[in-house]
Structure 1
Amino acid sequence: MKVTQHLWFEKDMESAIRFYTSLIPGSSVGWVSAIPADTPSGPAGSVKLAGFTLGDQRYMAIEAGPLDPFNHAFSIIVECETQEEIDRLWDALKEGGSTEQCGWLKDRWGLSWQITPKRLGELMNEPDRAKAKRVTEAMLRMVKFDIAALEAAARG
């Protein structure tokens, strides 16, 4: 049994997936094709499909005109080891999009991402609940995560 996430793009699907796969190490576009027959979404060739991987996750995508826009009900979480990784992904993905609290952003296609440090999960799961509370309070004040500030909050 295989599980694959599926994304519906109104337009510009191929640009989006090529951009995503360029950002995440170990990612690739497997295939892109156009449906040769007429569909309810348009004439032959107007509907495109693609298969790709982001890291170790499999995705399919379709470009078939407007349906339901992306929203917070689905997001892609990228767990980063370093601040440099967070900064690189954050800066690239926010271009033409918008940023939100707690490491969330929407890219120019409207897809939601959570760019998080691996260290955040470790700090929030500390046995010392006072330390975890300080980290949580610091996290809730952040837009883009700052590992050094989270570590400082953990220290008190």
Structure 2
Amino acid sequence: MKLPAREITTCLWYDSEAEEAVKFYMSVFKDAKMGRITCYGEEGHDIHGREAGSVMTVEFEIAGRKFVAINGGPVFKFDEAISFQIHCDTQDEIDYFWSKLSEGGEESVCGWLKDKFGLSWQVVPSLLPEMLLDIDTAKSQRVVKAFMQMKKFDIEALKQAYAA
């Protein structure tokens, strides 16, 4: 049975900072758009415990991708099992996203970071997949060796490792 294509929206669970997080992402991604905001009502208070009128969900878009941020409480936390990759064409783009998204969060290795809300991001050069998929495995292995020693990706260093 062939099913029609469906829209898939990423839902991000926050304790109580969904609107703050969306405003932060809107400041980082210049093409971001905020959508509708829904609020908790009296219904279900015995389950959700939220004050009527407080923000429940915030819809937003980044680069045409739809997201919903929900204030669902402290039950669930983000972890590295899910991350968002930002493919960057220039070192300036890598530096920009790395700086903005890691502020108040934490830097990791190989282009990974967590923002101040605990959401994981990978800030990667657009040319990396091409380098890693090169049929000359010596080239791709030199690139792997180089980036395994990096926190934030350095495009020039990757190009040098690839060309060596």
Asked if the contact 2:88/2:126 (under 8 Å) is kept, the reply is yes
Match of 1:146 in 2: 154
Match of 2:20 in 1: 15
Match of 1:41 in 2: 48
Structure 1 unaligned segments of length 5 or more: list them.
none
Match of 2:139 in 1: 131
Separation (CA, whole Å) in 2 of partners of 1:127 and 1:26: 36
- Residue 47 of structure 1 and its aligned partner are, at CA, apart by 4.6
Q: Which of residues 116, 125, 130 in structure 2 aligns to 1:117?
A: 125
Separation (CA, whole Å) in 1 of partners of 2:9 and 2:30: 19
Match of 1:60 in 2: 68
RMSD: 1.3
Separation (CA, whole Å) in 2 of partners of 1:125 and 1:32: 43
Residue aligned with 2:60, SS: strand
Asked if the contact 1:75/1:114 (under 8 Å) is kept, the reply is yes
Separation (CA, whole Å) in 1 of partners of 2:70 and 2:90: 33
Which amino acid is 1:75 matched to? S
Asked if the contact 1:123/1:154 (under 8 Å) is kept, the reply is yes
Separation (CA, whole Å) in 1 of partners of 2:61 and 2:160: 35
Asked if the contact 1:47/1:64 (under 8 Å) is kept, the reply is no
Separation (CA, whole Å) in 2 of partners of 1:31 and 1:86: 30
- Residue 136 of structure 1 and its aligned partner are, at CA, apart by 0.9
Q: How many residues align?
A: 156
Q: What TM-score comes out, normalization by structure 2 length?
A: 0.89
Structure 2 unaligned segments of length 5 or more: list them.
1-5
Structure 1 or 2, whichever has the larger Rg, is: 2
Residue aligned with 1:141, SS: coil
* Deviation sequence 1:47-71 (CA, Å, 0-9, x none): 5201111112111110132111110
Asked if the contact 1:101/1:142 (under 8 Å) is kept, the reply is yes
* Deviation sequence 1:108-156 (CA, Å, 0-9, x none): 1111111111011121111211111100111111110000000010011
Asked if the contact 1:21/1:29 (under 8 Å) is kept, the reply is yes
- Residue 32 of structure 1 and its aligned partner are, at CA, apart by 1.7
Match of 2:3 in 1: none
Q: What TM-score comes out, normalization by structure 1 length?
A: 0.94
Asked if the contact 1:13/1:62 (under 8 Å) is kept, the reply is yes
Match of 1:69 in 2: 77
